[in-house]
Amino acid sequence: MENKVSAPVDNNVFKKVVSHAKEYGFVFPSSEIYDGLQAVYDYGQNGVELKNNIKQAWYKAMTQLHDNIVGLDAAIFMHPLTWKASGHIDNFSDPMIDNKDSQKRYRADVLIEERAAEMEGKGLVEEAKVLVQKLARLLEAEDLKGVQELIINEKIVCPVSKTANWTEVRQFNLMFSTQVGSVAEDASTIYLRPETAQGIFVNFLNVQKTGRMKIPFGIAQIGKAFRNEIVARQFTFRMREFEQMEMQFFVRPGEEMKWYNSWKEARMKWHQAIGIPASKLKFHDHEKLAHYANAAVDIEFEFPFGFKEIEGIHSRTDFDLKSHQELSKKKQQYFDPEINQNYIPFVVETSVGADRSFLAVLCNAFTEETTGEGEDAKTRTYLKLHPALAPVKLAILPLMKKDGLAEKAREIYESLKFDFNVTYEEKDAIGKRYTRNDLIGTPFCVAVDHQTLEDNTVTIRHRDTMEQERVPIAALREKIGEAVSLKRILEKLM
């Protein structure tokens, strides 16, 4: 659930991050040669490395550091009744409104939230709060007529037609559907999962029994989810196809708040461990709880466009397992030997968007440093990524191609490529090659010069400080390996 009033937008910085992402191979618009597909993106050669490293940092933090949490990789397609049980068929919708003149469709709640943000920007903080509260009350009461009236009373106009010629507000289900089966008559409607969580719920007993898991225990999963988002903006923040990293923690009924609080803290710590400063993170308690939750909080990151949700932590009660038990007629109970009782466990869920975490990491890493003044001013742009997350860990750069330097540099490259992601570059002046690596966030560059041929030492250039140090080639594996290991992140979590 998004927060209601956004901070002032810094479009400039965000635009720079978005164009940086495209120019340096992090994120491309999907099928760009056909002018792209709205709210769908592809990860380029550097983006996929960064995203995989974030996913690894999450997966290892969840499974490797907890002997009571195991992984799962459930299918995207699930039996359609799954979504009946989960409530998504009946409840997973957004209130939509169309402008009759422009034929454009909007999320009614977002139109009002944007008006509130505008008010706040003009210093009308109290008025903005009142408006947001009014909206929350109307949504809570499912009063769609009231939401339409609020839009009309606030004189909100369509940004395209500039008119207030609105349709009524209707609920629009966000799930994508498709047909399964080879013959049209036999085909049945199935859905692309809108959250990965249900794959975990329906496998709860499979994992519990085969893994002989004892409550409390968790199941963690990374996978694609799909939502037909109408408001698709802010780059990869809101996509129609995205990835979630979710963990369901099964607990004894009555103990859920203890675990909810402990996961809240643990997850906040993880975001900080991957390099996001505490000052750019905050909790935001939900004003309106989802149909399945008895407590819920978001972790928000301060994007250039304001504090926005990157992760949700939800106490989901026994809602999901109970519904699956009812609809499937298969018992979803656990026998707790410690208290000699059968019960349906309660669930605390942590759910973070891999793409949102990626975007937060990228925005946080984007650094412009200006030195000198006036005509002498020079700006250096680089990505200050945690070394364990950086797409390339080490670039091997011969000072020049001749005199055997290229061969020596290649030799070093060949000896290190089994340990971490290392690149070799010989084209252009070394300064230009340093800059290229700064722009993709490579934490270390190694220069191979004439002295290397004499004494088997190289210089390591550090991305953030640009300091250089001379080290023996034989020390590179350990020195770089230590600095770029995911261990550097994981050990901060203990």
Contact residues for ligand GAP, defined by CB under 6 A? 195, 197, 227, 229, 238-239, 242, 244, 246, 309-312, 349, 351-353, 355-356
Closest CA to 54 of 400, 494, 492, 489: 489
**Considering the complex, what minimum distance in angstroms separates the CB of residue 295 from ligand GAP?**
14
**Considering the complex, what minimum distance in angstroms separates the CB of residue 18 from ligand GAP?**
15
**Considering the complex, what minimum distance in angstroms separates the CB of residue 5 from ligand GAP?**
18
Assess contact for 351 and 194: CB atoms under 8 A: no
Cβ proximity to ligand GAP, 53 vs 236, nearer residue: 236
**Considering the complex, what minimum distance in angstroms separates the CB of residue 314 from ligand GAP?**
6
Alpha helices in 172-235 (DSSP H): 197-202, 204-210
Amino acid type, 412: I
346-353 and 341-343: which strand pairing?
unpaired
Place of tokens 């004439």: 450
Assess contact for 343 and 336: CB atoms under 8 A: yes
Residue number with the smallest Cβ distance to ligand GAP: 353
Cβ proximity to ligand GAP, 316 vs 386, nearer residue: 316
Cβ proximity to ligand GAP, 222 vs 473, nearer residue: 222
What is the Cα–Cα distance from 111 to 101, expressed in whole angstroms? 17
**Considering the complex, what minimum distance in angstroms separates the CB of residue 353 from ligand GAP?**
2
Cβ proximity to ligand GAP, 229 vs 287, nearer residue: 229
**Considering the complex, what minimum distance in angstroms separates the CB of residue 240 from ligand GAP?**
7
What is the Cα–Cα distance from 478 to 4, expressed in whole angstroms? 48
How far is residue 373 from each of residues 35, 369, 370, 466, measured CA to CA in Å?
41, 12, 8, 20
Cβ proximity to ligand GAP, 116 vs 313, nearer residue: 313
How far is residue 422 from each of residues 365, 396, 409, 487, measured CA to CA in Å?
20, 7, 12, 18
Cβ proximity to ligand GAP, 148 vs 198, nearer residue: 198
